[in-house]
Chain A
Amino acid sequence: MSQKTVDRGQEYVRIEGVTKRFGDFVAVDSVSLSIFKGEIFCLLGGSGCGKTTLLRMLAGFESPTAGRILIDGQDMAGIPPYERPVNMMFQSYALFPHMTVAKNVAFGLEQEGLGKTEIERRVGEMLEIVKLGEFARRKPHQLSGGQRQRVALARALIKKPKLLLLDEPLGALDKKLREYTQFELINLQEQLGVTFVVVTHDQEEAMTLASRIGVMNKGQIVQVGTPTDIYEFPSSRFVADFIGSVNMFEGQLTEDEPGHVRIRCPELDATVYVNHGISAAPEAKVAVAIRPEKIELTRSELAATENRTRGTVKEIAYMGDMSVYLVRLESGRLVRVTIPNTERHADERIVWDEMVYLSWHPSSPVVLTV
């Protein structure tokens, strides 16, 4: 995970109560958001959550039904896409099939009315940056997926935009190439200092790329934060469930002190003790979310009376670097536990149908009230 420090003082894009309706359908529902200069901001959400519509409003292809968008302090209302200091990298790359790579990249500069030599020089430089110098005279269909992606990036970046919008930038690449390209994108962004807004449905992509993530659901932003915030401190059941995998148990608050809370979870057949306070009504129904990697499995019985339970191993999935265990509790609930395979030999590993004890640290569970 890349954690970059972002200068929060410099707000660059300001989205104020933006709503977009298509007929009766509300695609984006009163979203307010600030994006800071030089950061990579990811809009993350499932299909139809409104993230692409929001991006298209930033680019100027759609205009908000209500609310306003300011980029670098300037209200974007009524400004057509060709006059915005914003460029976009399209999901399908949208390379012009009848032009060579060099012509594609030069297109944006030609619109600015620059001289021929100046354009040639800058296109040459940009193609070197994305390592496509030798492909300048090829047509898009003569390139591989990864090369096309880099042409699209070069074509957008050569305009020196204040803001680069990327729609599922890695969506069309295979897995190996994605990982490589992810880091390349981050490097380029640091090198050029452009603010990125990335739309993606792939949480892994969001986690690696973003300095901050805005999780969207049904047209609304449900949580904004760093990847760590989003993963470790989800603010709602939706976010906890959407990001990564999680074991979620419904429970009832029995003790709520400033320094700790206790929650009774019948499903878990245990009392959950969390070493920090929450602000919720007494006796409130809450959910307890515990990430699979934060649960420990042991064969020997535990002395503790809280934050532990037991069950039988039902499934083991060996993934190489780690194994996923599905443990059936006495209540019938299945719990997902992941354990890194630090040992090469499997003699000591827990096997099918073994009775095991599950435990977790008091700081691990996340208590969710919404």
Chain B
Amino acid sequence: MRRGWFRNGMLGLGLAFLYVPILSMIVFSFNNSRLVTVWDSPNSPTLRWYVRLLENDQLLGAAWISVLVAAMTATGAVILGTIAGLVLTRFGPFRGRAFLSAMTTAPLVMPEVITGIAMLLLFVSLEQLIGWPEGRGMLTITIAHITFAMAYVTVVVQSRLAGFDDVLEEAALDLGARPATVFFRITLPLILPALVSGWLLAFTLSWDDVVISQFVAGPGSSTLPMEIFSRVRRGVSPDINALATIMVLIVAIGVVLSTLYMKREEKRREREEQMARRDGNG
């Protein structure tokens, strides 16, 4: 009895610790008051800030830039990360393998400020030397994001590749498939789940990033987090709450849908395997 009480209490505390901040933000997004910390009860709840948000071209523009950058980053990072993961797991020991492995994962531990400065220096000196990239903007942000997001994708792809036996690839070779065919018909479909989660991970990382973007962005290429950050410095305005609430909502829907899908797939698989065992007499 007492133990149940204690357990539930602790669970409540844990959940509160995680979700009260988000919840309060959501609640305040429906607040009518201009001041973020004052609840204007006579006129609340209201969708006032949501409407304001839709009229705010600057924020919407920044959001669009963020989406573009994140999508390009995710795609680029998945391509490079897959190649790196493949080389590290399937090409056996070669000279420089340890170095490559260390270098691809270095951005995981590198402070973002340092990555940001390094990228900025690179872009500036490249521009002086070969005239490319011209100035800084979406392109430089994307390149910078790819370099660090790729590290995460590499890790995800690598662990997926290590998880499935390369005997499947050998079997395909044995059946007469050339290495390129083996990759596209066997390896790629099998690591697809890892590529999808790698893509989503890279997308989120890019979407989140302020520090690196801050260094390599140019005029007119502010991403959404940069925009929010600069606004918040001038004082938190309630339309940011509305924006954040929408973002939380989108993420929550995504998570719920993918969980439901995975649960269903798992159930289906289990049922089919049971059926195979039952009617499998030989």
Instruction: Tell me the A residues contacting B by CB distance below 8 Å.
Output: 59-61, 80-83, 86-88, 90, 92, 94, 96-98, 107-108, 111-112, 138-139, 141-147, 155-156, 159, 177, 180-181
- Whether the Cβ atoms of A80 and B173 lie closer than 8 Å is yes
Nearest-CB distance from A114 to chain B (Å)?
11
Of chain B, the residue at the smallest CB distance from A61 is B170
Instruction: Tell me the chain B residues, 145-177 only, with Cβ under 8 Å from chain A.
Output: 165, 167-168, 170-177
Q: Contacts A96-B168, A147-B282; is A88 near B174 (CB within 8 Å)? A: yes
- Whether the Cβ atoms of A144 and B277 lie closer than 8 Å is yes
List 28 A-B residue pairs with CB atoms under 8 Å apart, sorted by A's residue number: A81-B173, A82-B176, A82-B178, A83-B176, A86-B174, A87-B174, A88-B171, A90-B167, A94-B167, A94-B168, A96-B171, A107-B185, A108-B175, A138-B276, A139-B272, A141-B269, A141-B273, A142-B273, A142-B275, A142-B276, A144-B277, A144-B280, A146-B282, A147-B280, A147-B282, A156-B175, A177-B282, A180-B282
Q: A86 — which chain B residues lie within 8 A by C-beta?
A: 174
Task: Please report the C-alpha to C-alpha distance between residue A107 and residue B186 in the assembled complex, in whole angstroms.
Answer: 10
Q: A144 — which chain B residues lie within 8 A by C-beta?
A: 276-277, 279-282
Task: Please report the C-alpha to C-alpha distance between residue A146 and residue B272 in the assembled complex, in whole angstroms.
Answer: 16
Instruction: Tell me the chain B residues, 55-103 only, with Cβ under 8 Å from chain A.
Output: none
Of chain B, the residue at the smallest CB distance from A165 is B174
Q: Contacts A82-B178, A108-B175, A111-B175; is A90 near B282 (CB within 8 Å)? A: no
Q: Beyond the given A94-B165, A98-B190, A159-B176, please list 14 additional residue pairs across the A-B interface where CB-CB is below 8 A.
A: A82-B176, A87-B174, A90-B170, A92-B167, A98-B189, A107-B175, A107-B185, A108-B176, A112-B176, A141-B269, A144-B276, A146-B280, A147-B280, A181-B282
Task: Please report the C-alpha to C-alpha distance between residue A97 and residue B173 in the assembled complex, in whole angstroms.
Answer: 16
Residue B181 CB within 8 A of the other chain:
yes
Q: Contacts A94-B171, A111-B181, A159-B176; is A142 near B272 (CB within 8 Å)? A: yes
- Whether the Cβ atoms of B282 and A82 lie closer than 8 Å is no
Instruction: Tell me the chain B residues, 236-271 only, with Cβ under 8 Å from chain A.
Output: 269
Of chain B, the residue at the smallest CB distance from A97 is B190
Instruction: Tell me the B residues contacting A by CB distance below 8 Å.
Output: 165, 167-168, 170-178, 181, 185-186, 189-190, 269, 272-273, 275-277, 279-282
Nearest-CB distance from A93 to chain B (Å)?
9
Most A CB contacts (10 A, CB to CB) among B173, B177, B273 go to B173
Most A CB contacts (10 A, CB to CB) among B173, B176, B181, B273 go to B176
Task: Please report the C-alpha to C-alpha distance between residue A237 and residue B177 in the assembled complex, in whole angstroms.
Answer: 45
Q: A59 — which chain B residues lie within 8 A by C-beta?
A: 170, 174
Nearest-CB distance from A162 to chain B (Å)?
13
Task: Please report the C-alpha to C-alpha distance between residue A146 and residue B276 in the assembled complex, in whole angstroms.
Answer: 11
The 3 A-B pairs of least Cβ separation, nearest first, read A144-B280, A111-B176, A108-B175
Task: Please report the C-alpha to C-alpha distance between residue A320 and residue B275 in the assembled complex, in whole angstroms.
Answer: 35
Q: B170 — which chain A residues lie within 8 A by C-beta?
A: 59, 61, 81, 90, 94
Q: B167 — which chain A residues lie within 8 A by C-beta?
A: 90, 92, 94
Task: Please report the C-alpha to C-alpha distance between residue A256 and residue B39 in the assembled complex, in whole angstroms.
Answer: 112
- Whether the Cβ atoms of B172 and A141 lie closer than 8 Å is no
Task: Please report the C-alpha to C-alpha distance between residue A80 and residue B177 in the assembled complex, in whole angstroms.
Answer: 11
Q: Contacts A142-B275, A143-B276; is A111 near B189 (CB within 8 Å)? A: no
Q: B273 — which chain A residues lie within 8 A by C-beta?
A: 141-142
Q: Contacts A94-B165, A94-B168, A111-B181; is A145 near B175 (CB within 8 Å)? A: no
Of chain B, the residue at the smallest CB distance from A141 is B273
Nearest-CB distance from A68 to chain B (Å)?
20
Nearest-CB distance from B22 to chain A (Å)?
38
Q: Within the complex, which residue of B172, B173, B280 is in contact with A96, where a contact is CB–CB below 8 Å? A: B172
Q: A82 — which chain B residues lie within 8 A by C-beta?
A: 173-178
Nearest-CB distance from B177 to chain A (Å)?
5
Task: Please report the C-alpha to C-alpha distance between residue A180 and residue B273 in the assembled complex, in whole angstroms.
Answer: 23
Task: Please report the C-alpha to C-alpha distance between residue A91 and residue B279 in the assembled complex, in whole angstroms.
Answer: 23
Q: B175 — which chain A residues lie within 8 A by C-beta?
A: 82, 87, 107-108, 111, 155-156, 159
Q: A107 — which chain B residues lie within 8 A by C-beta?
A: 172, 175, 177, 185
Task: Please report the C-alpha to C-alpha distance between residue A308 and residue B267 in the assembled complex, in whole angstroms.
Answer: 67
Nearest-CB distance from A188 to chain B (Å)?
15
Q: A88 — which chain B residues lie within 8 A by C-beta?
A: 171, 174
